[in-house]
Amino acid sequence: MVNTDYEHEKNWWNAKAQKEEIDSCDEQINRALRWREINKNLTPDIRNILEVGAATGVFSIPLAGMGYNMVHFDLSNEMIELARDKADRMKLSNISFQQGNSIDLSIYEDNSFDMVINMDGAISFCGVDAVKAIRESIRVAKHKVIMTVSNRGNMLLSLLKTNNKINPDKFIPAAYSMFNEGLWHTYQFSENAELVKGCTNDYLGPIKAFTIEELRSIFEDEGMRIDRLTSIGSLSNHCGKEFIDSIISNIKLFDEYIDLCDRYDKEICSDSIGSAQRAGIIIVASKL
């Protein structure tokens, strides 16, 4: 598998910064579901929060606005500057910014933060180093970890849907790599570059996508109690883009639909494909 070049990745995320908060497909649904889980876990013992992979501050800035002491951590200096500008406009003094790599949080001691939030990019886009990033987030958490990661089922589905772009008579090697190991990289196989044309800089990766059982094993090995571990946003994926567009534009139905999506993930299909965009597995875990 191709190793992760973090300088290359930083430049790629910098190029994506201005478009980071432009939603496509069901991203708004996914974000609303993540907010629901964050809000549910903001118990009285949570005051200091680290968000790893905080990007342009979709979660960190509002949480600081709610009074929590926030550390906004990201690989991309461009993302951080956009978030810093937001914080300055809001005159927030309880948020600090740190540029760095999610696989190495050694500037923080064990149990430094009441809660650690790590939403997808700073895990999934570490590729072969993704488990290191997970363990670092767990290490610096005192009470709670909320994390989302790429869903292997959805990633495999996406690759199979685009297979015909390459070869309608043969399944591409990248599909088998995703199926067997949950790994993707633009430079992994010669055909992969064709699949990501039109993405930022015609590039996508590296990616590590997980199964629910794989994630469960990592957290349990670290001694964590798992409070929630399910797919997230699967109903929106099954409903399709046309339906989702109609829901997003319908203020009266949006919140009700979010409730249905949340119940679907918890009560009906807890191990499904997750949302079409953003991360498709969520885990909430407590340190014993």
Q: Is residue 76 part of a domain?
A: yes
Alpha-carbon dihedral sign for residues 52, 115, 22, 163: positive
Q: Same structural domain for residues 12 and 119? A: yes
* Domain boundaries, position 62: 6-23+41-149+210-232+281-287
CB 147 within 8 A of CB 73: no
Which of 207, 224, 253 is the endpoint of a domain?
207
Q: Is residue 127 part of a domain?
A: yes
Q: Could you report the per-residue pLDDT of 43-90, keeping only the tens digit for each?
A: 999 999 999 999 999 999 999 999 999 999 999 999 999 999 999 999
CATH of the domain at 90: 3.40.50.150
The domain tally of the chain equals: 2
Q: Same structural domain for residues 57 and 161? A: no
Q: Same structural domain for residues 77 and 113? A: yes
Secondary structure percentages of the chain, helix, strand, coil, to 5: 45, 20, 35
Q: Same structural domain for residues 129 and 224? A: yes
Residue 20 has pLDDT above 80, yes or no: yes
Q: Same structural domain for residues 121 and 16? A: yes
Q: Is residue 177 part of a domain?
A: yes
The residue assigned the tokens 């926030």 is 70
Give the rounded percent of residues in the chain with a pLDDT score beyond 70. Answer: 100
What is the average per-residue pLDDT within 215-228?
98
Q: Where are the alpha helices (H) located in 211-279, listed in sequence order?
A: 212-221, 234-239, 241-248, 251-263
Q: Is residue 240 part of a domain?
A: no
Q: Could you report the per-residue pLDDT of 100-153, keeping only the tens digit for each?
A: 999 999 999 999 999 999 998 999 999 999 999 999 999 999 999 999 999 999
Q: Is residue 106 part of a domain?
A: yes
C-alpha 26/C-alpha 260 separation (Å) is 14
